Amino acid sequence: MFQAPNGSATYDPLSGHDLPAEELPLPSSFKWGTATAAYQIEGGAKAHGKGPSIWDEYTHRTPSRTSNQTGDVACDHYNRVTEDIDLMSSFNVDVYRFSLSWSRIIPLGGRDDPINEEGIAFYNNLIDQLLIRKIEPSVTLYHWDAPQALYDRYNGFLDTAEFCADFLRYARLCFERFGDRVKQWTTFNEPYIISIFGHLNGTLAPGHCAQDGFDTKHAPWRVGHTLIISHASVVQLYTKEFKSKQHGTVSIVLNGHFYEPYSQSEADKQAAITRLEFFIAWFGDPIFLGTDYPQSMRDYLGDRLPAFNDEEKALLRNTARSNGFYGMNHYSTKYARALTSPPADDDWTGNIEEGAVNADGTEIGPVSQMPWLRVAPEGFRKLLRWVWNRYHLPIIVTENGCPCPEDSVEAAVDDTFRQRYLGLYIDAISRSIYEDGVQVTGYYVWTLMDNFGK
């Protein structure tokens, strides 16, 4: 349990009071790690044959979508691998979760396109240096940065068959070149974000939104469908061709808030359940249970939601239990409120409003520098229990963390707020394990270094 600055108590951000401390040590097998994403830290945007990704295109648009920040240099990890691993080693981390840049490995991305051996060499060196320092590599194949060429050719995720074929070739190459040393793989990071933020509200690459003429009524659900089928195809590939020799695991990382009802009305209680299903079970049910999308989604979205054909249904059934773990990215909790006004044609929420304050005026928790990220560790504990009860897979917390409330050097140096957040969320893991019976096997803090750092 997290110790407050006086060393004698645990601070509860919801009540604002100190609580008696109680030690609940995590299991000795528990893995501690940190995480990053390729585009956000690597830099080297055109170095040694790397091709452009959708994030390279997105961050260079005029007018700027990213306050004139790009990943051209970022944290310069491409040139500072050794010192970054030294930093990790100084923290005694067990695991480093990082993503590969698809366009650094296959610059044009496609199944018939040339391989960039210098990109392969970069990741081989990274993996080897980690292992020398006794840090386990946990590798994500895709963290939002598809090769731009795939969007130029066939609109990327919007063409399920084409994308799946190209992603399978990329995954196979990675298993062949890195799989002798990498034992933990994830296919996609946060498919919800890829689908909604990338292809509906346009706030992340490739930036598709209705204002620019894109079909936001149907496209996000097609993108989600492509992600699910591509993931299952890669799990099938690894299980059939690589697992017996490499002895690794493959899964996916799903993000999600926990939701509390805005009021005690039955409509708001149901809204909280529905938001969890739209956010997490959208992907979790087909991938981990081998079933259709949640019924709440089918009922609300109708023919906007693609149907799984017989071949896809068989693929999902056959791969559901081959996922080695549940990768959970979680940061905060929100209140869910059922709306009575007619939704927009491209509504993706189930006609539900989410916010930080409930009907009684109670805030879900203290706010960080990001308005949506509030300290609510009890919601985290509830989400761990919800995921465990639904999917019964070991959970790895693949991302969790927060910024300090103020953007200043003084606040960063003081760091009390962030330390309290981390301590309380780690305490929630302990209580989930010992009091709720949830199997949580690791925790990777987000992030090792600032995103788009300079």
β-sheet bridge partners, residue 189? 253
What is the rounded distance in angstroms from the CA atom of residue 66 to the CA atom of residue 61?
Answer: 9
- The 10s digit of each residue's pLDDT in 292-338 is 999 999 999 999 999 999 999 999 999 999 999 999 999 999 999 99
Structure tokens at 192: 């919800």
* Pairing status of strand 352-355 against strand 333-338: antiparallel
DSSP string, 222-256: HHHHHHHHHHHHHHHHHHHHTHHHH--EEEEEEE-
Residue bearing tokens 């049910």: 285
**Residue 76: other Cβ atoms inside 10 A:** 17
Burial tier of 63 (Cβ tally within 10 Å: 0-12, 13-18, 19+): exposed
pLDDT at position 4 over 50: no
Instruction: Give the pLDDT of residue 8.
Output: 30
pLDDT at position 100 over 90: yes
State mean pLDDT over 238-266: 98
What is the rounded distance in angstroms from the CA atom of residue 119 to the CA atom of residue 141?
Answer: 14
Mention every residue, 6+ apart, whose C-beta is less than 8 A from residue 115. Answer: 105, 106, 173
Domains contained in the chain, CATH given: 9-446 (3.20.20.80)
- The 10s digit of each residue's pLDDT in 413-454 is 889 999 999 999 999 999 999 999 999 999 999 999 877 643
The DSSP 8-state label assigned to residue 144 in this structure reads: S
Residue bearing tokens 């996922």: 323
Of 190, 277, 312, 378, catalytic: 190
142 in helix, strand or coil? strand
- The 10s digit of each residue's pLDDT in 364-395 is 999 999 999 999 999 999 999 999 999 999 99
Instruction: Give the pLDDT of residue 23.
Output: 72
Which one is predicted more confidently, 11 or 7? Answer: 11
Residue 122: pLDDT band with limits 50, 70, 90: very high
Distance of CA 232 to the CA centre of its chain: 17
Residue 24: pLDDT band with limits 50, 70, 90: confident
**Is 410 a known active-site residue?**
no
Mention every residue, 6+ apart, whose C-beta is less than 8 A from residue 246. Answer: 175, 179, 180, 183
Can you give the pTM of this predicted structure?
0.95
The DSSP 8-state label assigned to residue 306 in this structure reads: P
The conformational region for residue 11 under phi > 0 = left, psi -120 to 50 = alpha, else beta, is beta
Residue 30: pLDDT band with limits 50, 70, 90: very high
Structure tokens at 444: 């990777």
CA atoms within a 13 Å half-sphere pointing along the CA-CB vector of 259: 26
**Is 406 a known active-site residue?**
no
Q: Which helix (H) or strand (E) holds 176?
A: helix 160-178
Instruction: Give the pLDDT of residue 453.
Output: 43
The DSSP 8-state label assigned to residue 454 in this structure reads: -
Distance of CA 219 to the CA centre of its chain: 20
Instruction: Give the pLDDT of residue 1.
Output: 30
Determine contact, residues 287/320, Cβ cutoff 8 Å. yes
Q: How much is the mean pLDDT over the chain?
A: 94
